[in-house]
Every structure is written in C-alpha cells, then in structure tokens.
Structure 1
Amino acid sequence: MLSTIFRGARVYDGSGRPPQVVDVATYGDRVVLIGRLDEQDAREIVDCTGLALAPGFIDVHGHTDELWLIEPRVESKLRQGVTTEIGGNCGLSAAPLVHDVLRRQRAERLKDYGIELSWSSMDEFLTLVERERPAINVATLVGLGTTRANVAGDDPRPLEREQSATQERLVREAVEAGALGVSSGLIYPPGSYATTEELSAMAQAAASAGAPLYATHLRSESDALEEAVDEALRIGRTAGVTVQLSHHKAWGKRNWGRVHRTLAVIDAARDAGEPVFADAYPYLGAWTELAQILPPSSRIGGVEATLERLRDPAQRAGIALAVELVWQGRWHEILITDVASARNEELAGQRIGELGRSWGVKPVAAALQLLLEERLTPAAIFFEMTQSDVDAVFSARFVAVGSDASGRALRGVTARGLPHPRAFGTFPRAVGRYSRRRRIYDLAEGVRRATSLPAAIFGLRDRGLIERGTFADLLLFDEEALIDRATYEEPTLLPEGIRAVYVNGVCVLRDGAFTGERSGRVLRHT
C-alpha cells in the first residue's frame, strides 16, 4: 500500500513551471506517483483542497553545525518549511579539529551550549549527528578557515609547503567523509590570511576528492566588492570548480548600487560557461560578530593577542581612533543580538549608541569595552544594505535563498539572545513576500530558488523537485497566506501559511505542532 496520497494539491514541482492541480503519492521515502489517483489508496490521505504542495526548502547557507547535536529538531528552520540545511559556511566547519590549541578553543566555546567536543574528523562529527537523528536533512562544507587553523593557528603568514600539503590532505579527507565542497570566510581570521593561490589549491583538493565546489564569503562586500568577486571567479577557473558567492550584497551606503556591476560580471562569466551562482537573504541587516568593527591589524595573532591590545591603554586608544573614523555618526546602525555572559545578557536588543549613553561613555568606548568583557564573542546586526540592491540580487535567476542563520529553538540554550529575524523568517519572506508583495518573481520561481536551484548547485541528487523517484521532502502550504512575521523587535514570531512538512516521506510538522518524528538524514557527498 502507498504511504501517503496528497489529493488535489496545486503542485509547484520546483522546476519553476506553473503549478498543476494533481495528486501526489509517496511510498516510503520517495515520490512514486503523480496524476489522477482516485483509484489508489494509502495509509494516509491528505486533502489538499485549496493548498499548495512544493519540495521542501533547502537552506544553502546555514550555520547550525555543532548545534545539530543539541537541537536536532532545528526548529526555526523546520517551521519555515526547510527540509535540508547546508552548514560549514563562511570558512567555519565543525570539523576537522586536530590542532590542540584549536580543539581547546572550540571546546571552550561549545561548553556554553553543553556540548562535549568528542570528535576530530569530519566522519566522526557526521556520525554523531546521524546518531542524534535530526528532524531535517543536513549536509556540510569543510571550512578553509578551520582547516587553516589546524595547520597554522592564527599565523597570518603564507603557508609553508608542508603546511599547505597538510591542509590539502585535511580537505580531501573531509570530502571523502562526506563534505560537499569547501567554503571560505575571507573577512574572518585566520581564513582571511589565505592567499588566492592557497584558496585555489584547496578548492582543487576538494575537486580531486570528487566535490568541485567553492562557496565563499568574499574578501570584501564593501569598497573592494568587485575585486573580491573577480578573485572568487579566478579561483573557480584555476581550480575548475563551481563558485557559490555567499549572501551576495553591497555593504555600506557609499557602495550601494555596486551589485548591478557584480551581477553583470557574474552573468558574463556564466555566459562563458563558468558555473557561478550566489545566494542571498531578503533583509537589509547583516548579522555577524561585533568584532568586525575592529581593524584587521588589531586581530593578528588571535583572540588573546587582540584582547591584550584592548587592555593596553595606548593600543586601545589607537584602535578606538581607527574604529571611530569608520563608524562615527553611525553607531545607531549596530544592534547587539547575542552576549554570552549573564552580567551583560540584558544588552541584547540595544544599539551601540544606546549602550554608550547607558554606560556614560562614547559609543566607541562602549563597543570596545563590551568586546573586551565578552572576549570578542558578541554578535550584532549591522544595518548596511538598501532594498533596491536586495531586490536586484534576488532578480537574478542564479541566486538561491540562504538564511545565513543557525537553527534556533523557542526554548532552551539555543533560544538565548535576540536573533536576526532571518533565523525564523527567511524562506516565507523570500518565497511568499517577495513573490506576492514585492513581485520580484512569481511564486513558482520563488519555489525554484529555494528547491531545485540549490539542489543542483550542491549536487543533492533526487531532491529539490517533485518527480517520480525523488525523495519525499515535501511542504504543504497556503500560497495566499505564506509570509514571514519575524521582525527585528520580535525576531521569533513564526511565519504563517505552513500546514505540514514531510522529510523523507515522514510528517515531522503538522499545523504548527511537531509530530515527534525525526526523519532527516546526513547527506554525505558520494
């Protein structure tokens, strides 16, 4: 007997074609029949009158990673209709962890979440995730910031030949264990110390192991945006790999409009046959570490060296001057979201300007003091984009949807702080709001950006489409009601319009309630 028949749904199959009203049947974890199935029976019959059925959404740019071990429901993703998350982005992955100093640093950070660091290799980490039985499918890239830290720590110098060979070996081993490719985060040390040649060599190492994909948080998303895109394209050509430009945008008012030029460059490369893609989130605020305000020179040597500079009055004065030159008059554009310590946790939700007033100091002094007290860990939202740029990026057919967020729960350790609304709202916003209200594309195209396009980019076979033989990752929704509700003030408001989510043929969410099933899988590169 068939497992489930979805009767009379408007089926958006993920291809971008207009929907058709048909029945869809599953058996086990696969879609097996599509059409008029009046004569068929199944263990579950779902009346889809007035509802739409689509492939489950695929988040190409997630950051849940180690938190899969303690939040296997990945609640904030699942409630948006996400059935697959790709982690290991921006050069930071959960593995490999073989360098003693790096292991100690990572273990200390994970202790805040109650996670014991018990793995070293990518295979060991993914095996642990499999044991936790996630509710959604998960996959990962291997981060080149992580692999570099394993071989060179926080040393900013170019790698020696032996170090480079060791890093290449770590990349190949991670891919052979299942990583889908490599990622870089070229504004975050120590990944920012990598040369173009080093990045090309690591992308080639991934390709040699069978995963020719390089996803990159560019070296600049502001003044040197165009040069950074050129670097990424050079790496792709040299290594012979697919290039994925992460969360593509132009940061800062003086750079608004530059995405029109970068999109034209990407179009030209694609016309020449180069496999270049991008992803984006549909918001004007970027969410990253507050330490991004620091000049790069102040961060050489790692966390302890940076903190020592901030403790030294003379060096701190110089850092404050450099920071103020950039941020003077714009401190209201930075919103504190995550603070680790109990004594400062109430600061989440404050702007840096407000913090300065409450502490009775200049905003720059407040920001540096907070970084010192919290050991550089606070996260913040930077309101640095413009809507016309975001619309332009989403208008490009090669741009997929990515949340750039970790999975969060409404309660528990992952609920701490004040997340960016994209953690709970990215997909209903990009697919629903951007089709019905902003009219950037129609709904069928919005579904494609969140399903078959990311599946094709990342090589997720038999996912992202509703066809006979594909995996039954399915989203039942009200196409007229699908929309985000999360705001910067109330970022955990849940979206509307999601009726049910099936992962590998099993219903994991129905009418806003979890069913108790966790049917996701670790998707390893094979």
Structure 2
Amino acid sequence: MIRNGILIDPETLTRSRGNIGIVNGKIEMITKDNIQGLQEFDVEGKMVCPGFIDIHGHVDWDDYCGELSLRQGITTTVGGNCGLSPLDINAFFAAQEKQGFIVNQAELIGHSISLREEVGATDPLKPATPEQLRQMEYLVEKALEEGACGLSLGLAYAPGSSNDEIMNLSKIAARYGRIVAVDTRMITGIDMYSLVEVIAIARQTGARIQVSHFVYQYGTGVMEEALSVINRARFEGLDIRFDSGMYTQWATHIGAVLFNEEYMETNGWKLDDILVITGKYNGQRLTMDIYHELRTQHPHTAVVVFTGIEEEIYMALNHPYAMPSTDTGTYLPGEGHPQIAGSFPRYFKKMVTERYELNIMEAVRKATLLPAETLGFTSKGRLRKGMDADIVVFDIKNITDKAVFGQPNAHPEGIDYVFLNGKLALAKGELMDTKAGKAVRCNKPVYDYQI
C-alpha cells in the first residue's frame, strides 16, 4: 500500500491525494479510504506516477546500466536502438523471463550495425546486395514475430544503406504496426535533408516514425526549422514523433564512420570539440595523435561531441510529441556521459521546477503515457486499476541530477521509491529487488493515439 501520495494519472489528467493498493504486480485499487496493506509506505506530499519509460536506451542486459536507469525512476527501457541490437530476440526475452532483470526491457531489431553485419554487409559506405537484403527482410520479420517493438535504423553509422534497404525493412515494420526508430544521417549538422528522408520513409511505407535523440541531431542552431518539418509532416497525417536528451553533448564510439576525416570536416567538428569518456584517455580532449591511435587501435572507445545549444533542448521537449530519453549505454563505473545517471531527474528539474517549461502533468505524460502509447504498451504509463504496478515516487521540489563529466554515475536525488511489477525495487537510494523487471514483448499492432 502506497499511502498519502499526490497521485498523477496522465491518461485521465487527474491529480489527487490518495492511496494505491497493489496486488500480484498490478494496481488493485486507488482510494482515499484508510485501508490496510501487508506492506505500507507513507509518501506524504510526494508525487506518485507511473514509472518512467525510456524510449531510447542501450541497456541491453547490462546490469550496471540498468541500475543507473532504475535510480532515475525508469521502470521500462527500450533497447536495440541506433541499428544495434541482439539478433535472437526470442532468446533475449526468454532469458529475462527466466532470470528477471533490474528493469523491464523492450527491444527493437537493429538494421544498420547488427543486421548488416549478420548478412555480410560490413562496409558502412556500401549498400547491401539484393541477397543480403532478402536475408535482412527475413530476420526483421522473425524478430517482429518474436515480440520486437519495432525496427531501428542507425543511418549515421551506415550511410551507404540503400533506399531499398530502408524502405523494404520499414514496410515490414509498418505491416506489423510497429515503430521505426531512426538515428538520422548527420550530414552537416545544419541541413534538413536527413529529416526529410525520415518523412519520406513514413510517407512511402506507412511506418510510424520515432526520430531518435532529436536535440543531438538538430540542436545545433536549426531546431526551429526541424520542428517545422515535423509539424508539416504531422499536418499531412504522418505519424512522426521523437525523443530528446537533456544535454548539449552526444556520445558514440570513435570508430564510427562519423569520425572519418571528411565527415569531421563537413560537420565542422574540431578535435578539441571531442572529449574521450572511456579508456586510458578518459577525460582528455582529442589531439591528432590520440585521434589516430584510437581510430586504429581502440575504435570502440567512447567520445562525446560538444556541438549543441542548450536552449534548443527545451525547445525540442516542449513539442507535444516529444519524449525525454537517456541514450544510455554500457560503461564501466567512472566512465561515460552523465546522461546515464542524470537524464530523467534533470528533465524534471529543468523543465518543471527551474524553467517552468512544463507543468507537472505534462512532464509526467511525456515520460510515461506518451511513450507507452507510441509503443503500444497498454498496461503501462497509466495510474489506474488493472495497470502494471510500475510506479515511481519522487519529490518534485528536490529532484535533481548529480552526474557530471568525471562523475557520470553520481546518483540523483529526489527519487524516493520505485516499484517494479508491484515489487519494491528502490527505496531511498537503496537497491531492493534487482530481478523484478520483465520482458516486454509486442505481440499486436500499435494503434495511433492522438492527443
């Protein structure tokens, strides 16, 4: 029993004081009556809402990464983004169903790295052959049958992907009613061609599009124009949505084709714009010597690129179809981007309590109901009887991120309790049940929910 909370349900847009009864992993009742429970938690004056859903992450079975997500109030994470995923989706889900995990996991099937490598299309600058494409089509359909919640395209990592690859695979996702999550090509950082390409995917295939980490792609001085492209597409009737991070720096690995010298020059990136965040040069800016050493000897070293404009973070997340996301990834303690531990607390601190960009109801909706509707999670993202008891209790006055470069895993403050499928997973910063997370399979079409 969760007592005396300020209950926020983004589906009915209601905010009221009350108690929540949980039975067998589900919300059994929401009431103001003074009833008893086997376990009781008095959360007087704290916000109680559905658990946060991170629609763009890379947890993918990493315990440490999952823990940092849970500490932010995230109860469900979507992996397989940016074209990188496990290929055997059924085995991935079966393992979680047997063993449990620290958070719930849904999964996309990734094209641009995983599928292409599986079928032998290993040159990111060259298109797949017709036979390789046929193999990928089979694997995508198999993954969707096994419960993948969509297809992910990491076009920035395989710019040689052909139009046939993109359209044929997206048509399969559209037929299943699943999303296509797109990490757009980063051509110059200021053009709209990469976003127009995404609109064309939706228009030609009927796919529902989720543009990944929008501010990292277009928060370089062109956010207003990028949002106009989204709005025109939605006015046309296309279902285009996006997620966005809370930082002006984005992370990836130094071996990516993005860091070929010609791409660096085209984007106007200087070596000093790029910070190493893993390995022996952790915390150092690139020099020419470090650049060549890492590219040739340690291509999986993670780096961050400082290219963004802070105001464009808030501009993006004000859009009615924008959702916060972490873009979290697998790192060792002390390494990585602060987004791995700070994204959602920072979102509420900046957007609600500091800048008054959003009211609490709208902020919760974007972090819970909107991604649940986008993904077709009908039992998540809502605070009412019969829903999964994925619940976060937080202090809106004191919620804050502590993670910074150098201490990217510093735990946030203001997250009091996290319940996962009815089990207490986090209490006052202490991990409790670390195996309460379940596999989240998509087994039916996703329907478009209009706001």
TM over 0.5: yes
| 1:16-55 → structure 2 map (5 Å cutoff) | 17=13, 19-38=15-34, 40-55=35-50
| 1:88-167 → structure 2 map (5 Å cutoff) | 88-95=80-87, 121-145=88-112, 146-155=114-123, 156-167=125-136
TM norm structure 1: 0.79
In the alignment, structure 1 residue 291 sits paired with structure 2 residue 255: yes
| 1:317-336 → structure 2 map (5 Å cutoff) | 322=262, 325=265, 330-336=270-276
Q: What is the letter of the counterpart of residue 29 of structure 2?
A: L
The higher radius of gyration belongs to 1
Match of 1:273? 237
Deviation, structure 1 residue 85: 0.4
Deviation, structure 1 residue 459: 1.1
Match of 1:399? 322
1:63 is paired with a residue of what secondary structure? coil
Instruction: Tell me if the contact between 2:56 and 2:326 (Cα under 8 Å) persists in the aligned partners.
Output: yes
Question: C-alpha separation between the residues in 1 aligned to 2:300 and 2:8?
Answer: 42
> Deviation per CA, 1:2-33, whole angstroms, max 9, x where unpaired?
xxx22221112134836211222221111121
Residue number among 381, 390, 401 corresponding to 2:313 in the alignment: 390
In the alignment, structure 1 residue 239 sits paired with structure 2 residue 234: no
In the alignment, structure 1 residue 187 sits paired with structure 2 residue 156: yes
Deviation, structure 1 residue 438: 2.1
**Structure 1 pair 371–416 and aligned structure 2 pair: CA distance change class (3 A):** farther
Question: C-alpha separation between the residues in 1 aligned to 2:269 and 2:118?
Answer: 40
Deviation, structure 1 residue 73: 8.0
Q: Which runs of 5+ in 2 are unaligned?
A: 444-451
Deviation, structure 1 residue 141: 0.2
Instruction: Tell me if the contact between 1:433 and 1:484 (Cα under 8 Å) persists in the aligned partners.
Output: no
**Structure 1 pair 60–221 and aligned structure 2 pair: CA distance change class (3 A):** farther
**Structure 1 pair 33–290 and aligned structure 2 pair: CA distance change class (3 A):** same
1:74 is paired with a residue of what secondary structure? helix
In the alignment, structure 1 residue 515 sits paired with structure 2 residue 432: yes
In the alignment, structure 1 residue 368 sits paired with structure 2 residue 289: no
2:5 is paired with a residue of what secondary structure? strand
Question: C-alpha separation between the residues in 2 aligned to 1:72 and 1:251?
Answer: 27
Question: C-alpha separation between the residues in 1 aligned to 2:14 and 2:64?
Answer: 34
Match of 2:449? none
Question: C-alpha separation between the residues in 2 aligned to 1:500 and 1:223?
Answer: 40
> Deviation per CA, 1:368-411, whole angstroms, max 9, x where unpaired?
1232232x11111111100121121111111111100126xxxx
Deviation, structure 1 residue 37: 2.1
In the alignment, structure 1 residue 63 sits paired with structure 2 residue 63: no
Deviation, structure 1 residue 154: 1.3
Q: What is the letter of the counterpart of residue 255 of structure 2?
A: A
Match of 1:299? none
**Structure 1 pair 22–241 and aligned structure 2 pair: CA distance change class (3 A):** same
Question: C-alpha separation between the residues in 2 aligned to 1:272 and 1:488?
Answer: 42
Match of 1:249? 215
| 1:408-447 → structure 2 map (5 Å cutoff) | 414-416=331-333, 418-447=335-364
- Count of equivalent residues: 441
The structure in which a higher percent of residues are helix is 1
**Structure 1 pair 260–221 and aligned structure 2 pair: CA distance change class (3 A):** farther
In the alignment, structure 1 residue 228 sits paired with structure 2 residue 194: yes
Deviation, structure 1 residue 125: 2.5
Question: C-alpha separation between the residues in 2 aligned to 1:475 and 1:62?
Answer: 19
Q: What is the letter of the counterpart of residue 373 of structure 2?
A: A
Deviation, structure 1 residue 53: 0.4
Match of 2:226? 262
Instruction: Tell me if the contact between 2:51 and 2:391 (Cα under 8 Å) persists in the aligned partners.
Output: yes
In the alignment, structure 1 residue 87 sits paired with structure 2 residue 79: yes
Match of 2:448? none
Instruction: Tell me if the contact between 1:335 and 1:382 (Cα under 8 Å) persists in the aligned partners.
Output: yes
2:38 is paired with a residue of what secondary structure? strand
Residue number among 321, 324, 338 corresponding to 2:278 in the alignment: 338
In the alignment, structure 1 residue 219 sits paired with structure 2 residue 219: no
1:65 is paired with a residue of what secondary structure? coil
| 1:338-357 → structure 2 map (5 Å cutoff) | 338-339=278-279, 345=280, 347-352=281-286
> Deviation per CA, 1:255-310, whole angstroms, max 9, x where unpaired?
833111111111122123211100001101111112347665xxxxxxxxxxxxxx
Match of 2:446? none
Q: What is the letter of the counterpart of residue 373 of structure 1?
A: Q
Question: C-alpha separation between the residues in 2 aligned to 1:205 and 1:181?
Answer: 9
Match of 1:113? none
**Structure 1 pair 30–161 and aligned structure 2 pair: CA distance change class (3 A):** same
Question: C-alpha separation between the residues in 1 aligned to 2:278 and 2:349?
Answer: 28
Match of 1:198? 165
Q: Which runs of 5+ in 1 are unaligned?
A: 96-120, 297-318, 340-344, 353-362, 408-413
2:139 is paired with a residue of what secondary structure? helix
Greater shift, 328-337 or 176-185, is seen at 328-337
**Structure 1 pair 460–324 and aligned structure 2 pair: CA distance change class (3 A):** closer
**Structure 1 pair 16–446 and aligned structure 2 pair: CA distance change class (3 A):** farther
Deviation, structure 1 residue 159: 3.2
Question: C-alpha separation between the residues in 2 aligned to 1:199 and 1:519?
Answer: 36
Instruction: Tell me if the contact between 1:222 and 1:250 (Cα under 8 Å) persists in the aligned partners.
Output: no
TM norm structure 2: 0.92
Match of 1:6? 2
1:33 is paired with a residue of what secondary structure? strand
> Deviation per CA, 1:187-237, whole angstroms, max 9, x where unpaired?
11xx332123321110112233x2431100001264464111111111112
**Structure 1 pair 221–396 and aligned structure 2 pair: CA distance change class (3 A):** farther
Q: What is the letter of the counterpart of residue 488 of structure 1?
A: F
Question: C-alpha separation between the residues in 1 aligned to 2:332 and 2:291?
Answer: 24
Greater shift, 281-290 or 199-208, is seen at 199-208
Match of 1:109? none
Question: C-alpha separation between the residues in 2 aligned to 1:7 and 1:283?
Answer: 35
Deviation, structure 1 residue 126: 2.3
**Structure 1 pair 438–522 and aligned structure 2 pair: CA distance change class (3 A):** same
